Structure 1
Amino acid sequence: MINKETIKTLVEEWLQKGDYFLVDVMMDGDRIAIEIDHADGVWVEDCAELSRYLQEKLGEELDEYELEVGSAGLGQPFKVVQQYKNHIGDEVEVLAADGKKYVGVLKTVEENSFVITTKEKQIPEGKKRPVLVDVDKTFAMDEVKYTKYVLNFK
């Protein structure tokens, strides 16, 4: 019987060949779904190569499962720190634990936190009209419901 740790170990072995990284391994009954990512995107050929590598290592034992190898979806929430790092400088949407949404540019990423720069209306001292100013907001990764890349078609 194949377990999740065995799959993770084998995927990590294969990933050492390049700049890919593991996002998630999901096992549900007779289905194994593996998500990988890369700063420049994931190629179908690499997913097929990883699938063949797993078949070679696990042999007939893998025949009992439906294996799906793919990339982390572009519009899907980030699951690992490396996804945050790959999107520094990009616009992201954050849903905070309090339910408030923020959209801004991902500025910095640490192991357990990240900073986005948002635009907020503020009234400068001595003025009557608000102006948009850049404001940095810091979030702890375990205190947000999700963070995801914002697709812009400009």
Structure 2
Amino acid sequence: MDFRSRIEELLNGFLAERTDLFLIDLKISAGDDVTVILDGDQGVSLQDCLDASRAIEFNMDREERDFSLQVMSAGLSEPLNSERQFKKNIGRELDVLLKDDTKIEGELLKVEEDKITLVLRYRKPKEIGKGKVDVVEEKEIPYTEIKKALVAIKF
């Protein structure tokens, strides 16, 4: 079994026991630097990262292959890339970049198997007269149209 397959097998075994956690990304560099990014339905604790690290490291032979291992939680800078990640962020503001490079910002209202629904709030000019009116609309966006989606950071 090759190195990547062994890491994936150990990680999948750990995640089968911890169904509240899920894999976001597994990267293995040419120099055998292993980076595991996890997320969880209720977030990821330091202990969760330690447990995942131990599940991999304690079952690998460093005499056979030397590697470095880093296990971390998905941060706010990590794009949302799975239905499960979108579901845990319902009610939060998202910045969504579509494949046609259109940018949309809105509150995540609903997550379905093939699309998300955002509530967009903006002001537009009145059709008659001066001034602007507030507009609230729902926009459905299929996953296939999303290039990148991030949780909006507001201060």
TM-score range, shorter chain: 0.7 to 0.9
How far residue 121 of structure 1 moved from its aligned partner, in angstroms, is 2.8
Q: 2:110 aligns with which of 83, 108, 111?
A: 108
How far residue 2 of structure 1 moved from its aligned partner, in angstroms, is 0.5
The one-letter code of the counterpart of 1:10 is L
The one-letter code of the counterpart of 2:112 is E
Residue 16 of structure 1 corresponds to 16
Q: What aligned pairs does 1:53-64 form with structure 2 within 5 A after superposition?
A: 53-60=55-62, 63-64=65-66
Residue 84 of structure 2 corresponds to 82
Residue 75 of structure 1 contacts residue 151 of structure 1 at CA under 8 Å; is this kept in 2?
no
User: Is the alpha carbon distance of 1:50 and 1:137 closer, same or farther for their aligned partners in structure 2, counting shifts above 3 Å?
Assistant: same
Once the two structures are aligned, what percentage of the paired residues are identical?
30
Distance 2:9 2:144 in 1: 25
User: Is the alpha carbon distance of 1:38 and 1:52 closer, same or farther for their aligned partners in structure 2, counting shifts above 3 Å?
Assistant: same
Aligned length: 152
Q: Alignment partner of 2:107: what SS? A: strand
Q: Alignment partner of 1:59: what SS? A: coil
How far residue 53 of structure 1 moved from its aligned partner, in angstroms, is 1.0
The one-letter code of the counterpart of 1:28 is S
Q: Where do 5+ consecutive residues of structure 1 fail to align?
A: none
Residue 116 of structure 1 contacts residue 136 of structure 1 at CA under 8 Å; is this kept in 2?
yes
Distance 2:55 2:97 in 1: 37
Question: Please, which moves more after superposition, 28-37 or 137-146?
Answer: 137-146
User: Is the alpha carbon distance of 1:61 and 1:138 closer, same or farther for their aligned partners in structure 2, counting shifts above 3 Å?
Assistant: farther
Q: Where do 5+ consecutive residues of structure 2 fail to align?
A: none
Question: Please, which moves more after superposition, 99-108 or 50-59?
Answer: 50-59
Distance 1:108 1:27 in 2: 34
How far residue 86 of structure 1 moved from its aligned partner, in angstroms, is 0.6
Q: TM-score, normalised by structure 2?
A: 0.85
Q: Which has the higher helix share?
A: 1
Distance 2:52 2:64 in 1: 13
How far residue 126 of structure 1 moved from its aligned partner, in angstroms, is 6.5
Residue 52 of structure 1 corresponds to 54
Distance 2:154 2:81 in 1: 21
Residue 55 of structure 1 contacts residue 62 of structure 1 at CA under 8 Å; is this kept in 2?
no
Distance 1:140 1:92 in 2: 15
Superposition RMSD in Å: 2.2
Question: 4+ residue runs of structure 1 moved beyond 6 angstroms?
Answer: 124-127
Residue 95 of structure 2 corresponds to 93
How far residue 7 of structure 1 moved from its aligned partner, in angstroms, is 2.4
